[in-house]
Structure formats: C-alpha cells, structure tokens
Amino acid sequence: MISEPSRHCTVELQALPSRIGQVRRIISAQLRSWHLDPLVDQAALGVTELLTNVHRHAQPDKTCTVEMELLLERLTVSVHDHDPRLPTVRGPSMSSTSGRGLALIAAVSESWGVRLSGGAGKAVWFTLPAPPRAAPPPCPVYGATTDGPFAPCPVTYLGSRTPSTARSVAVG
C-alpha cells in the first residue's frame, strides 16, 4: 500500500531480496515526484541497508513498513519491523563482507536512530536535509506578455541571426 496525503509515503512489504529492489524504485519515483531528485541516491542506499538488516536479522518475521515523510525541509525515512532487538553498529575488519550498513547510513545521512514501538518492534530511521526550493528563472520566459519581475538578461544570438518579434494570435 502506498499513501500520499501530502508529503508522506508508506510501503508495507516482506523484506525479501526480490522486494528490496522494488521498494528502492518506489522510493526513488516518489522522491522524484516530490522534486527531491538530489536525495534519491542517499535515500535508496539507506532504505536498501535497512531492509537488508530486516531480511538478515529480524525475528519473528520479515514483515516491515517503509515510511518517508517530508516535514520542515527534512526528509525522514524509517523502516519499522516486529523485532524489539536493537541494531548495533559494528566495526568490521577490512576483510568483512558485511556489517557496514548502519555505519554507511551514519555517513550519508544528517542523523539516524532507533525508536522502540511499545513492545511491538522498532523503527530505524535516518534524516536527509531537503534541497532548497527551486529559484525563479533568471531570465524572462519566451512568449511572456510582460517583462515580469526579472532583471534585464543578455541574449546571445548564434551566427548572423537577428532577433525577431514574437507575436501571438487568439482565435475566438
């Protein structure tokens, strides 16, 4: 189930390897629809690491919920599972092939943590700062009927072309 009452998205799933890629694509598409493209790689990486932890460690089942919420220019991504055991950050050796997930999340996120869910499991979360809103265009848009609030913009013409006057016609 995916819900989006504003800037909120929830996906419920079984944390199986075949589903992790699907959820990563859902999260990426949702962030793009919110115009948060710069956060896609970090959020997808964080979700992948958290879902992999659920798949490897969560008991009694692999059922979990991924939740994203954009609030006050901050994206919070969390994964809720039914296992009340808290995750631990390990210092893996150079030859280890696993155990770096939470350290990786700490490195790419602004903050992260764990929240117990009243004996019904836990939520592991991380935050990312949202990019500033897009600035208005620096030059007027062609076809505009007024100069608007824009400062004069230099226009460069290629070759020997000279500017032509734009005209519009309304048929009615």
Segment 79-132, tens digit of pLDDT: 999 999 988 776 666 666 566 779 889 999 999 999 998 778 999 999 999 987
Give the model's pLDDT for residue 31.
96
Report which DSSP code applies to 139: S
Calculate the CA 166 to chain-centre distance.
41
pLDDT at 3: 44
Q: Residues near 154 by Cβ (< 8 Å), separated by ≥ 6?
A: none
As a whole number, mean pLDDT of residues 16-37 equals 94
- Taking only the tens place, the pLDDT of each residue in 33-53 is 999 999 999 999 999 999 999
What is the CB neighbour count within 10 angstroms for residue 78? Answer: 24
How deeply is 160 buried, as exposed, middle or buried, from its count of CB atoms within 10 A (0-12, 13-18, 19+)? Answer: exposed
Name residues whose C-beta falls within 8 Å of residue 52's C-beta, 6 or more positions apart in sequence.
15, 20, 101
Residue count of the chain, please give it.
Answer: 172
Distance CA 55, CA 14 (A): 8
Q: How far apart are CA 75 and CA 69, in angstroms?
A: 6
Q: What is the pLDDT of residue 168?
A: 44
State the Cα–Cα distance between residues 125 and 120, nearest whole angstrom: 16
